[in-house]
Structure 1
Amino acid sequence: MENIEIIPLVGINFNDKIIALSSSRENVESLLGAPYGIREKSLYYFNNDLRFDFDENGKVEFIEFLSGIDGKIQPKIYGVYAFQVEADDLYNILNKKNSGDIDDSENGYSYGFLNVSVGVFRNAIPTGVVEMIEEAVEDGEPMNTNDIEYEMRKANHWATIGIGIENYYR
């Protein structure tokens, strides 16, 4: 497993290589090699589990980890593994470090921590999974235990975490 640390407002430490926000596209490629995929102003690495977005000047403005709890890339932020720690626990850590406004407009599916320019996202929230289970029972097709555990596990962990330049989420 790679050793990756997310450093809000700075960049990432990737196996002792610093990739700073505002690094050039060339710098990213020289440190990580040829990208796995390219889409407009983005470079993707590690089977699309890591994305770098570039501004109009070719500088990194956003870095996102897309691997989730089961992915091969497991970055740390503020001393915890972002995808392994419970979603509520990471929320509390980010809230404390942020010390200010949070964009919570997506009702628990995502949050933007405005002062530290960190965003987290998940496809489901625990209450949504409970509703899905109840609907399945009402439809006469109850979910099996493995499916319920899988859905709750996903809902209780973040699927993505990203960092941006200052004011990225404002």
Structure 2
Amino acid sequence: MKAFDILPTVGVGPIRFGMTRADVRELIGPHDGDGDEEREWYLEDLAIDFDAAGKVAFIEIAESENFRALLDGECLHELDADSAVAHVEKLAPFDPDAPEPGYTYVFPKLQLSLWRSVVPDASQDLDDPTGRTFEAVGVGPDGYFPNTGG
């Protein structure tokens, strides 16, 4: 299985912010099916957003059977949510005032986010994995995620 390093403010694996669609396709192959003007999917679980000039502007990574995305040696999709947040916090703090607390953690210094659609609560069965890990890791260039904290 391929491993892609998450390089905060730079890109993911061989993909760099500012690359063209042609650059991306040359490096990792054609996009999966229908894309739109702004977002294309690659390797089934790698979403790349393009700006109006057709350059890579944001990368979102879902858990994948085709690749692992590593930040400082750890695959954030394989860690429980608390451990994933703690791992990223070794590099930079998250913004406690970012929208959707508990669902989304934004690390402005790294221009990185962690997202899950469900936050488990005390009534959830311990065997139910829903919400216990993050579904998406987002990576942007400098300035993508503003720091909303005071």
Normalized against structure 2, the TM-score is what? Answer: 0.86
Deviations 1:131-157 (A, max 9, x none): 4x4xxxxxxxxxxx7xx523xx23221
User: How many equivalent pairs are there?
Assistant: 144
Native 8 Å contact 1:122 1:159 kept in 2: yes
- Taking only the aligned residue pairs, the percentage that are identical comes to 28
Q: 1:45 aligned to 2:39?
A: no
The equivalences for 1:126-145 within 5 A come to 126-127=120-121, 130-131=122-123, 133=124
Which structure's CA Rg is the greater one?
A: 1
Supply the distance in 1 between the matched residues of 2:138 and 2:132 (Cα, whole angstroms). Answer: 18
2:99 matched residue in structure 1? 105
Measure how far apart 1:100 and its partner are: 6.5
1:94-120 deviation per Cα after TM superposition (whole angstroms, max 9, x unaligned):
223124745533120111111110011
Show the counterpart of 1:137. none
Distance 1:7 1:83 in 2: 16
SS at match of 2:25: helix
What does residue 138 of structure 1 align with? none
Residue identity opposite 1:118 in structure 2: L
Runs of 4+ aligned structure 1 residues displaced above 6 Å come to none
Shift of the alpha carbon at 1:46?
2.1
The residue aligned with 1:75 is 69
SS in 1 for 2:2: coil
Structure 1 range deviating more: 90-99 or 71-80: 90-99
Residue number among 29, 33, 41 corresponding to 1:33 in the alignment: 29
Is residue 102–residue 113 contact of structure 1 (8 Å, CA) maintained in 2? no
Stretch of structure 1 that moved more, 101-110 or 80-89: 101-110
List gaps (5 residues or longer) in structure 2.
none
Q: CA distance change for structure 1 residues 113 and 100 in 2, over 3 Å: closer, same or farther?
A: closer
Distance 1:97 1:106 in 2: 22
Residues 114/103 of structure 1: CA separation in 2 closer, same or farther (3 Å cut)? farther
- CA root-mean-square deviation: 1.9
Structure-to-structure mapping, 1:1-170, within 5 angstroms? 1-13=1-13, 18-37=14-33, 38-47=35-44, 49-67=45-63, 71-72=64-65, 73-99=67-93, 101-127=95-121, 130-131=122-123, 133=124, 149-150=127-128, 153-170=129-146
Structure 1, gaps ≥5 residues long: 134-144
CA contact (8 A) 2:37 2:50 kept: no
